[in-house]
Amino acid sequence: MPPEELLNTILPQFSGLRDMYSGRNFFKHHSEYLGVGTLILATIGVTQTARVRLRWAFVALAAFFLTFALAGATPFFQIWYAILPMVAKARAHSMAFYIVSFAVAVWAAFGVERVLQRERRIRGLTGWLVALGVILLFAVAGVFTNLERSIAAAAGQALGDPDRVGRAVANQSAIVWGALRIALFGAATLGLLFAWGRGRLRPAAFAALLFVVLGFDLYSIDRQFFVFSPRAAQLYPSDPITERITATPKPYRVLDIPQAPVYDGSNLMVYGIPQVLGYHSFQIRFYDELLGGKGQWRNLFTSLHLWKLLAIRYVTASDSIHIPGYHRILGPVRAATGRTGYLYEADSIPAYARVIPAAVKGEAERIVPTLIDPRLDYDRVVLFAPDQPVNPLPVDSMPPPSPARAQVTAWEPGRMSITLDPPPPAPSYVLVAENWYLDWQATVDGVAATVLQGDQTFITVPVPAGARRVEFVYRSSRSRTGRMISIFAVLIVAGLLVGPPVTRRFAARPSHG
């Protein structure tokens, strides 16, 4: 979060709302506006509350998470980055600003508590009148626009977006109207506080009017970020391509060619169709490395041999293309996205699970180059990185494929059943074209088995000679532990809320001894 955007907490139009944004983030579809009335009450609460210890606790909380939201714009973040665990794995650090907003909300509550104490005079209201006048003056005089324009010029040069300066200039009227808006809402809040302090409002009227002023102030900005879309049946209607794919029993994978896509984002996810390139680019690192880098997928399009390992049965494209090993089964047809679509199917159904007679344990950096080499037969050998808890027998020559065949008899997310028919005549490995995660568990003929990470990213299980059935289930003990902690935490909070009133009620009952 760029530091200058702290001005948005009181003047949300400063950096430009939604499509008018001209700041230093590469995009921004949100606002940090805290509400001018909220900030007035928060300053009263943080400076004049009797809850001194609690006030300083939230000051420390807000200051700490503000350094997170500002991230590299402050030297403090380098300290947290070096010391705190997993910070290097986090993304979108500006989201931490919601903790700052929470602290401001608590201070505003302290402010309301202080305002209700009529016997003490509230300080600082005149200062807010002056501040609102200065903001309005700066907006009308173009001070904010000039500042925004200079920021937009630097951001446009850094991000290769020269239109940012134009948006900053076009945003001047929005800044003026925004300053006038907060001046009116601020004056209304201050007027309520003055009227209440002089006894001209009853408690119910004061509470209702304050609720309306604060609520409408926040809503008038927040409503601009509400996007109401049609129902899913309208957004994602079925089409001939999705109907043809979903008629096929799972498992399989579908590749929507990114250079000529038929669908957008998560469209295929709506139909429960497994995709090669994921839904939101949250694939695990090993999978990205196999495909040739996040968002690049170099290996995917330089090695069609890899498509067999990924079990790509269907390919969709918005143009007619020739793919070796695939044939067109549909198209051109009109897809739900409005684009022309073509559907291709593999000439022979790729194996989603395979029985492999041998394994090689070698250098981790050599696994991916070996896998994309078309000379490698995936049915003969599986590759393991050095960190895998397995010691395969040495391989002097490439063994013949196993006579055993793996058939997926049941498949759903997080659970699979695989039958080996005929069973392998010697100890082997079953590899499934499913990403390995720590919490996958497996049994072979009812006996627990070790789940390994083979061929860079896939689930692999050693099986003895004669094995007939392999069962997989994704079951996270850490998730169960977290769920239990959450349940106990809710019960504790509920007890703290309900317990004291109940205890006081029983203590207040007269005794009949």
The per-residue pLDDT for range 1-16, each reduced to its tens digit, is 899 999 999 999 999 9
Q: Check if the beta carbon of residue 334 is closer than 8 Å to that of residue 379.
A: no
Task: Name the average pLDDT for the chain.
Answer: 91
CB burial of residue 44 (10 Å; 0-12, 13-18, 19+) = buried
The H-or-E segment that residue 447 falls in is: strand 447-449
pLDDT of residue 414 exceeding 70:
yes
Q: Minimal CA–CA distance to 254: which of 311, 203, 212, 190?
A: 311
What's the pLDDT at 86? 82
Strand order in the sheet with 440-444: 406-412, 415-420, 469-474, 440-444, 447-449
pLDDT band at 87 (very low <50, low <70, confident <90, very high): confident
Residues of each domain in the chain carrying CATH 2.60.40: 381-474
**Least confident stretch, 60-64, 86-90, 95-99:** 86-90
More confident residue, 89 or 33: 33
Name the 3-class secondary structure at 84.
Answer: coil
What's the pLDDT at 280? 67
What's the pLDDT at 265? 76
pLDDT band at 361 (very low <50, low <70, confident <90, very high): very high
What's the pLDDT at 279? 62
Amino acid of residue 240: P
- The domain defined by 381-474 folds into Immunoglobulin-like (2.60.40)
Q: Check if the beta carbon of residue 274 is closer than 8 Å to that of residue 408.
A: no
Handedness of CA 52, 58, 61, 65 (dihedral sign): negative
pLDDT of residue 195 exceeding 70:
yes
pLDDT of residue 166 exceeding 80:
yes
Average pLDDT over residues 121-139: 90
pTM to 2 decimal places: 0.74
443-476 pLDDT, tens digit per residue, is: 999 999 999 999 999 999 999 999 999 999 999 8
pLDDT of residue 85 exceeding 90:
no
Average pLDDT over residues 338-364: 95
241-268 pLDDT, tens digit per residue, is: 999 999 999 999 999 998 899 998 778 8
Tokens at 388, concatenated = 């895998």
Percent of the chain with pLDDT over 70: 98
More confident residue, 494 or 294: 494
What's the pLDDT at 214? 96
What's the pLDDT at 66? 93
Q: Furthest-apart CA pair in the chain: how many Å?
A: 95
Amino acid of residue 61: L
pLDDT of residue 161 exceeding 60:
yes
What's the pLDDT at 76? 82
pLDDT band at 103 (very low <50, low <70, confident <90, very high): very high
